[in-house]
Structure 1
Amino acid sequence: MERGVPIRAISRGLAVLAAINRDGPISMMGIARAAEVPYPTACRIVQTLQHEGLIEKEPARKRYRVTSLVKTLSTGFQNEDQLVAAGRGHIEALCRDVGWPISLVTRVGTRMMVRDSTHKMTSLTFSHYYPGYTLPIAECATGKVYLAFCDEEERNAIVEGWKAIETEASNMGLLLLSDDYMLRKIRHDGYALQVRNVYNADPGKTSSIAVPLFDGDDRLIGALGLIYFVSAMSSAEAAERYLGALQATARAIRGSLIDLAGGALGDAEAAE
């Protein structure tokens, strides 16, 4: 094993596929940089993915994009469509009220993935974060609040994932959990902060505050985040101004999830 990764070739292949899926259409040099693999390795992996039909080259440009075949990789995955359906109206209302963009985020492996956001609704943003955009779980407010409120078994699974990939972000995650002070504080306060986000589209320009999201059975399903300009306010001011509204929105989303679940159960009983 190289650097603790059981099969390095598979790890690199997945990184290349993720880079093309996230940033494509993308050049070969861009793939190598985004996936953090040597250029010759990126070339061989791209050829393999083309052979398998998962990616294709654009006819007029030397850029690569995923094909519809990648959708087959998600067969059997229960997505968060219900969360988006329950949350969309609430995050739109919150965005109109506070002005700042709001994101619904869930965990995918060792990263947090945007499921829905209101970035396009407001001018108070540098970038529009589309569904599918991911951030390292320990380097964003939504990830920190998720780590604090998830159960020990799930947290241990995340740690094992960090140990397998050995990146700067994963090492920071392991350092974060080496002392449970921060997680205990987040649980006590009910929210998490990330000052000067580094791993987003505008490094160092924004900060964020997040609260946990629970379903009707009190299971942790994700997090709700508010993103603001670093220059606009301090983290203490952000918490004072927006924590109550975020928590109220999280409760409203939970209520909508309960209503949706009840409606689905009623439809099923009627069908019987």
Structure 2
Amino acid sequence: MWNPKVKTITALDRGLAMLEMVRASGGASLHELHAGTGLAKATLLRMLFTLERRGLIWRRIADGCYCPGEAGPATRHSAATDRLAQCAAPALDRLQAEILWPSDLTIRRGNAMVVCDTNRAHSYFMIRRDSIGFRISMLRSAVGQAYLAFCPDKERETILAGLRRSRRPGDALAHDRKALDAMLERTRRQGYGVRDDSFGGDYDKARAEQNDRLEAMAVPIMAKGGRVHGCVNIVWIQGVRTMAQMTRQHLEPLRRTAADIAIRMDGPS
């Protein structure tokens, strides 16, 4: 066996060991990396910053965990979600710093929308957090309405066909074609989705039964060719600002954020 008489590079070895730990876990906090490697947190932060600049890892906004970058092993499903969250992270940070109100990044999973990242934990305002993977009504939520209105026709009809087979109260609008068409036309005309008046955050229950006391507006993240990567919203406390005030003050920053994410998504991987 070849046994060169050279020393290994300790710092490189430690960095690779930490990268393997991040990849094996799918996402690890600074505390977990510290416990797993025994390295000082200051040292870990320097390594993490270096790996992040190389695109080998990225930091999730919702919980601050470090996740494998595109070079890491992943299923096609999780790779697409992670790429969107990775591309969106800096834009969502900038948006939150500019407007103070928090945002969620969502994707379609089947006939519902799902939270794949959120900056609510870092918001100036104390707002209830939805966990990663939280399922959101396609028909009643701002992100769902934005997705449906701007996704390709064939995809929309596939989603609606599935929703029409559902007996869940939260999917009832799928059976009212006139109301559904009006909602889609309104969303396209104004360029953003809003919550249904009866929606209080719960998939099926009416706002009168369960109310998270929030309002939201959302825009699609448009891909080349007319597909929709996902949607990004702005969430605020009900009664603190009106929809007219929020759109006047924050719709353009929200649209700019979605466009920035789309540019990164459509760029070289």
TM-score, length basis structure 1: 0.63
Q: Which has the higher helix share?
A: 1
SS of 1:138's partner is coil
Q: Does 1:251 align with 2:253?
A: no
- Corresponding residue for residue 107 of structure 1: 108
1:167 aligns with 2:175: no
Q: 2:153 — aligned with what?
A: 152
CA distance in 2, matches of 1:197, 1:207: 9
1:170-193 CA-partner distances (Å, limit 9, x unpaired): 113433664412211211221111
Moved more, 93-102 or 124-133: 124-133
Q: 2:230 aligns with which of 204, 222, 238?
A: 222
Asked if the contact 2:173–2:180 (Cα under 8 Å) also holds between the matched residues in 1, the reply is no
**Which residue does the alignment assign to 1:199?**
201
CA distance in structure 2 between the partners assigned to 1:125 and 1:164 by the alignment: 38
1:239 aligns with 2:240: no
Distance 2:213 2:104 in 1: 17
* Matched residues, number: 188
CA contact (8 A) 2:164 2:174 kept: no
Q: Residues 165 and 136 of structure 1: is their aligned pair in 2 closer, same or farther, counting only changes over 3 Å?
A: same
Check the 8 A contact 1:145/1:192 in 2, yes or no: yes
Q: Distance between the aligned counterparts of 1:174 and 1:86, measured in 2?
A: 36
Q: What is the CA distance between 1:165 and its match in structure 2?
A: 2.1
Question: Cα–Cα, structure 1 residues 125 and 177, in superposed 2: closer, same or farther, change >3 Å?
Answer: farther
1:55 aligns with none
Shift of 1:217: 4.3
Match of 1:63 in 2: none
CA–CA distance in structure 2, aligned partners of residues 226 and 80 of structure 1: 20
Deviations 1:184-213 (A, max 9, x none): 121122111115742349725000000111
Answer with 1 or 2: which has the greater Rg.
2
Does the residue aligned with 2:101 lie in a helix, a strand or coil?
coil
Structure 1 moving runs of 4+ over 6 Å: none
List gaps (5 residues or longer) in structure 1: 1-73, 265-272
- CA deviation profile, 1:241-272 (whole Å, cap 9, x unmatched): 1110000111111121233xx2x3xxxxxxxx
Question: Secondary structure of the equivalent of 1:225?
Answer: strand
The whole-number CA distance in structure 2 between the counterparts of 1:75 and 1:85 is 16
User: For 2:176, what is the secondary structure of its paired residue?
Assistant: helix
Instruction: Report if the CA contact (8 A) 1:197-1:204 is conserved.
Output: no
Instruction: Check the 8 A contact 1:210/1:224 in 2, yes or no.
Output: yes
Provide structure 2 residue ranges, at least 5 long, that are not aligned to the other structure: 1-73, 204-209
SS at match of 2:114: strand
> Does the 8 A contact of 1:197 with 1:208 survive in 2?
no
State the identity %. Answer: 22
Stretch of structure 1 that moved more, 92-101 or 178-187: 178-187
User: AA paired with 2:176?
Assistant: L
- The Cα RMSD (Å) is 2.2
Q: Does the CA-based 8 Å contact 1:196-1:207 persist in structure 2? A: no
Q: Using the alignment, how far apart are the partners of 1:178 and 1:256 within structure 2? A: 35
- Report the 3-state secondary structure (helix = DSSP H, G, I; strand = E; otherwise coil) of the residue aligned with 1:139: coil
Give the C-alpha shift of residue 125 in structure 1.
Answer: 3.6
